Structures are given as C-alpha cells and as structure tokens.
Structure 1
Amino acid sequence: MILIVALIFIGLESSFSLYSATLETTIADLAPKKWPSNRTALMIQLQPQVGRSVAPFIGGGLLAMGLISLTPIAAGIAILLTTGLLLLWSEIVTSGQSATENTKTFTFRTIWADTRMAARYIATQPVLVFMLVIGFVTNLVVFPFYSLLPAFLVEMSPDNKAAFYGRFSGAYGAGMLITSMIFMSLNKNTNRPGIVAAGLVLMISIVLGLVTIISSEAFLIVSSAVLGVLFMMLVMFAGGAWLDLTPSKIRVRVFSLKRLIAFVSIPLGSVLMGFGGAAIGYMTFLRILLGVVVVGLGVTVLLCKGWNQKVRREDENLKDNIVF
C-alpha cells in the first residue's frame, strides 16, 4: 500500500512539474522584452505563490472546524475555476495566430535531438550547471518538507495541528508573495548569480535546521515566512540567470530539460523523507539531509568556480559579463 501511495504521489508531482514547465516557458515568451529578467522570473512564480498562500488557510481552516469532507469540494471548485480561466485566456493568447503557425511534428528522435542540444548548451555554461545543482538540492528539501508537513507536525507538537498547519504553510506563501511584489519593481540582477544563489541556499538550510530544533510556535511561523522570502529571492536570481544566459530560440528546450532534472528531486525527496522520517524520525532525517545538501553545495561551488574561470580564460572574447 505504501508503495502504491508513493507511486501515485510521484505521478502527481511529475504532472505538476510538467504544468509548471509549461507555465514558465509561456510567461517567459510572453513577457515584454524591456522587462528585466528578475521581474520575469518573479512573474513566473506569481500564480503558484498565490496558491501556496490561499490553499493552506482554506484547508487548515476547514480541518480545524472539523469539515474535512469539504476539502475535496473546495479543491474541485478551484480546479474547475482554473480550467475555465485557462480556456478563456488561451483563446485570447492564440487569437492572432494561424492554425499552422509554429507547428512541429514530434517523434522520439526529434525529442532526443532537442534534449541533446539543450544538454550540450547547458554544459558550456558553468553558471547554468551550478543553477541546475541548486535547483535539484533545493527541491530535494524545501518542497518535500512542506508536502510532508503533517508528518512533521507530529514531532513539532503544536496545540492545534490543523490551525497551525494553515498558519505555517500560509506564512511561507505570504513571504514569497510579498517578496515578489517588492522586488518586481526593482532591477536587482547580479553578475555573480552563483555566489548569491549559494548564499541563499545556505541561509535556507540554516533556517530549516533551526526549525528542527526550536519548538516555539511563533518562531516556527516566522521562520516559515523567512523561508518564503529566501526561496523567492533564490528564484529571482537563479531564474534571472537562466533567462539572461539562454537564447530565446532554444529557451523551450533548455527550460524543459532544466525542469526535468531539477524537479525530479521533489518526488524523490518526498519519498526519501517519508521513508527516512518513518525510520529514524522526521526531524532527525531532515537534519541529515540538510547536512548532505550543505556539503554537496560546498563541493559544487569549488568545482564550478574553477570550471568557470577555465572557460573564461579559453574564451577571451566572451561578451557576457555574468560570472560565477
């Protein structure tokens, strides 16, 4: 039974990753060219942030009131509303395109060729390789932690688990949303996104580590909001680097491969955290996983920094000023 549930969860997370990849590419293509890349990167995540802010409050409130039977009804209404808006806006977006415009016949051979092309391009950009590692290790911990939050609540021992779940998860979404609204109006691109991203992942690991140690409910809710702020800043700088370093003509293929690699760690982390937490305790396993992430991140920083310097020495005419 556990294996079946795990497979279902992996399927759901994989489907959501596919949806997120489609959303990311579409918004990146439709965003005004004059926008700075950090604004586009934040806009890509705006819709998921709203969901992460609203859904926990609604779900947690229904659970706290003992109305658990209404949660699937609320979810169904949200899905129907989203589908309706999607159909409405898809007509608006495609209204000026001909039926044969931008069509392409996909086969296994063309998909494999596109994948190889995207992989070769990423391999020539040390910054993007590092951002790929950043995405993988971050998604290995952050999203699985919030997905398995009900299990962690058993060890956190709040007075009202259902209400606390809503406040804790909602604070994370609110932190992301507020950060986006602030930074979308500012041009905060950096020419050293690798160092900035590494620092943000380290701070995220520290905050998550403190969550496993300090049991104060007020601290836990504040820390969740801080995690939302830090994660959104990571999305801004990492997403901006991907947009700046990827030509628009190959963006779909590169971003699809990025999503495939970086987001596969979400179901992987959830399964590992589920089995590991059940075996030795969720807080204990999270501390071990964070330690592995920090050590792996440090090794990757050293390797990619040296690789970046080598690449730049070999190409003295490199026009892009983005370095590690």
Structure 2
Amino acid sequence: MKRLLLLFFFTFSVCSAQNINFNEEHKDENKKVYTIQLFSYIDKNIVQEVFEKIPIEFKVHTNLYKIKGTIKGRCFQGSAISELKPYLEKLHAVGFKDAFIVKTTTLDMQNEIISNKKEKVVTKQSENENIKDTAQNTQQKDLLPSPKIQNTLSQSDKADILLKAQNSYLNGNENDAIMYYEMLFASDNENEKIKNNLCYLYGKQGAWSHAKDLIEAQNYQGKFIYAYAYGAVERNNPNFYYDLSPYILVDHSGRLMILAGYYFEKQNEIEKANYYYQMGYEKNPENVYNIFAYARSLDIKKNTQAVAIYKTILSKIATSHPMYSSIKKRVSELGG
C-alpha cells in the first residue's frame, strides 16, 4: 500500500499540473559554491584556442571569468565537492589533467563572469557616471565575450545521447545521466520531458540550486517542482523539507503536502506524516490520490474511519483503475 501511494501519486503528478500561488518573493542569496577550474591564462588567444578543444558535452557548461588579470575557464557548479568529483574525473580522462575544484560564491561568479551582457552594462554605467574615456576603454578591452555555443547536435546525435542518458540511469549512474540530459537540454531547452527528467534526478541528488531555475521558469506552477520533490522523497534526501518548505503549504493541489507526509513517514515521524496527509486531503479533497493518502494514514493509526474513506475512493474510480483492486482488497480485510 505504501508503494501504491508513491507510484500512483507520482504518475498523476507528472501527467498534470495544478497552480501554486505564492505571497512572497524568493530572492537568491550569496551562497558558497564549488566549481571546476579547467584553465587560467592571460592571453585571450590562448583562452580561445583551449576553449575550442573542450569536448561539446563539457563546453556547454563552461563559462569564462575575469579574475585578477587572468581569464579562467570554469564548468559545473555544486554545493559540495563530492557532487563535482565524477565530472572532475571525466575531465581528467579527456585531457584536462590540471583541472581542479575551487571554492567561490554565487555572487563572485555573477560579478566575475565574462559576457556580452556584462560588457554592455559596464559601458552604460561608464557613460552614466561620466567615467574617463581612457578608463572606460581599458575596462572594455579587458572583457572577452564568452564564446557562443552553437547547436551542433544532429537528430541522430540527440537520439544517441538520449539512449546514453536512459542507460546510465537504468545502470544506476545518475551523474552520467544528468550530464547527458544537460547536454540535451543545452541543445533543446524547450523539451519538457528532458527538463522533467532533470528535475527528478536533481531531486534525488538534492541539487535544488540546479533545479530551481527550471522550476522558477514555470513560476512554480508546473510539474517540475513535483518531479524534483518526488526524486528527493524517493532518495530520502535530508534537504527535502528545507528546500521545499516555502512551497509546500501554498501548493493548492495538495501534492507537495502528500509527498511531505510520505517523506516523514519514511523517517518514522508518523505524527508529522499524518499531519501533512490530512492537510493534503483538506487542501484538495476531490483528488483520489490525496484521499487515498489520507485514508492510508488513518488505516495506519487503526482509525475505523479509513474504511469509509476507502469506499469513497472506490465510488469515484472505475474498476479498471490501477488502485481499485488493492483498495477493494484492503476494505475486505478491514471487514468493510
């Protein structure tokens, strides 16, 4: 019955989306992050030459940063060194033997990144503040636009990478699966299935900072937040509640509440679990999955009301529904 709850809840969650409304604006903070440094040079020509040698699967994740007179190529970000080690090993294997992990902050990375956008901002700011032309020209010459990555993946390339992503996941290699899905996302950022799979895998690894941009792009009103939550709960990710607590109580579908209940049930915090199961049911009492989760929580507590609620579900679903036979069997076991 426990697996039935999670399996069918997730199936329902990723197939349709309800709105989530928020009363507060969530702002990014300056957080400590780790990234992989590939190279560091002063000469822009050398930078361009080395950059072009980066394999495409890593190039799409690489940015250039201007730091103390040198241009540094850095790729991937993570909240812990352990997240980046698999990527570092792959970079060493393809020839970047000197690549290493460095610690920085999100704010520093934003301020130090080299891009056309930043170049324009500097120019406008220089004009508005009437900075001397010589200083302005010097500052602009120091800036090197990040090389633009063209979509070089053919349909056959995409099919091959997708197969690698799926096989990596089935073989338990989530880091490789994420890498391949990120390659596909960089090539086709409108593909909803790829983004959904990424959010699910990010959830399993607790990589909220990676999933957040995708989820924010939907204004927290799409299925990506549920895919992330499902992955986090499935993996018993300790950051699940911390990452999603601002959104759980304002989810009008009740799904995040049900997942929170399941998360706490797996932690053997039954009172908390029952609290969220009931909240999810009360938030959306017409959803049969929410009803089932609440009935199950009553069943666990040996509350006789569970039978009546199970029967309510049976009256709402067809006999061909995947939950029907299991619920009917449970009602019979309870003497209903």
**TM bucket, shorter chain:** under 0.3
Using the size of structure 1 for normalisation, the TM-score is 0.23
Larger proportion of helix: 1
Structure having greater relative contact order (Cα 8 Å, sep ≥ 6):
1
Larger proportion of strand: 2
Using the size of structure 2 for normalisation, the TM-score is 0.23
